[in-house]
Amino acid sequence: MGYVDEVLAKVKEKNASEPEFIQAVQEVLESLKPVIDANEEVYRREALLERLVEPDRQFKFRIPWVDDKGQVQVNVGYRVQFNNSIGPYKGGIRLHPSVNIGIIKFLGFEQVLKNSLTSLPIGGGKGGSDFDPKGKSDREIMAFCQSFITELYKYIGADVDVPAGDIGTGAREIGYMYGQYKRIKGLYEGVFTGKGLTYGGSLARKEATGYGLLYITQELMKKHGESMEGKVVAVSGAGNVATYAIQKAQQMGAKVVTCSDSTGWIYDPEGIDVALLQEVKEVKRARLTEYAKARPSAEYHEGKGVWTVKCDIALPCATQNELLIDDAKALVANGVKAVCEGANMPTTIDATKYLQENGVWFIGGKAANAGGVATSALEMTQNSERLSWTFEEVDAKLQQIMVNIFHNIDDAAKRYGMEGNYVAGANIAGFEKVANAMLAQGVC
Ligand code: NDP
Ligand code: 2IT
The pLDDT value recorded for residue 1 is 83
Report the separation in Å between the CA atom of 306 and the middle of ligand 1, taken as the mean of its atom positions: 15
Neighbours of 270 (CB within 10 A): 11
Q: For residue 202, give the ligand nearest its CA.
A: 2
How far apart (Å, rounded) are the C-alpha atoms in residues 66 and 71? 6
Q: What is the DSSP letter of 201?
A: P
Q: What is the DSSP string of 343-385?
A: SSS-B-HHHHHHHHHTT-EEE-HHHHTHHHHHHHHHHHHHHHH
Verify whether ligand 2 is closer than 6 Å to residue 212 (CB atom). Answer: no
How far apart (Å, rounded) are the C-alpha atoms in residues 165 and 174? 7
Question: CA of 35: how far to CAs of 45, 428, 436, in Å?
Answer: 15, 7, 12
CB 401 within 8 A of CB 118: yes
Residue closest by Cα to atom 48 of ligand 1: 262
Model confidence pLDDT, tens digit, residues 123-134: 999 999 999 999
Q: Which of 80, 317, 319, 369 to mutate to test the pocket of ligand 2 (most atoms within 8 A of CB)?
A: 369
Active-site residues: which are they?
A: 126
List the beta strands (DSSP E) in 170-239: 232-236
CB 65 within 8 A of CB 37: no
How far apart (Å, rounded) are the C-alpha atoms in residues 253 and 217? 13
How far apart (Å, rounded) are the C-alpha atoms in residues 28 and 253? 34
For residue 293, the one-letter residue type is K
The pLDDT value recorded for residue 268 is 98
For residue 226, the one-letter residue type is E
How far apart (Å, rounded) are the C-alpha atoms in residues 149 and 152? 5
Report the separation in Å between the CA atom of 342 and the middle of ligand 1, taken as the mean of its atom positions: 9
Tally the residues of the chain: 444
CB 402 within 8 A of CB 370: yes
Model confidence pLDDT, tens digit, residues 101-125: 999 999 999 999 999 999 999 999 9
CB 108 within 8 A of CB 55: yes
Q: Which atom of ligand 2 is nearest to the CA of 162?
A: 9
pLDDT in 10s for each residue of the chain, 444 residues: 899 999 999 999 999 999 999 999 999 999 999 999 999 999 999 999 999 999 999 999 999 999 999 999 999 999 999 999 999 999 999 999 999 999 999 999 999 999 999 999 999 999 999 999 999 999 999 999 999 999 999 999 999 999 999 999 999 999 999 999 999 999 999 999 999 999 999 999 999 999 999 999 999 999 999 999 999 999 999 999 999 999 999 999 999 999 999 999 999 999 999 999 999 999 999 999 999 999 999 999 999 999 999 999 999 999 999 999 999 999 999 999 999 999 999 999 999 999 999 999 999 999 999 999 999 999 999 999 999 999 999 999 999 999 999 999 999 999 999 999 999 999 999 999 999 999 999 999
Q: For residue 111, give the ligand nearest its CA.
A: 2
Pairing of strands 313-316, 57-66: unpaired
Residue closest by Cα to atom 10 of ligand 1: 261
Domains of the chain, first to last = 1-54 (no CATH), 55-190 (3.40.50.10860), 206-368 (3.40.50.720)
Pairing of strands 313-316, 232-236: parallel
Burial of residue 120 (number of CB atoms within 10 Å: 0-12, 13-18, 19+): buried
Verify whether ligand 1 is closer than 6 Å to residue 212 (CB atom). Answer: no
How far apart (Å, rounded) are the C-alpha atoms in residues 346 and 303? 17
The pLDDT value recorded for residue 415 is 97
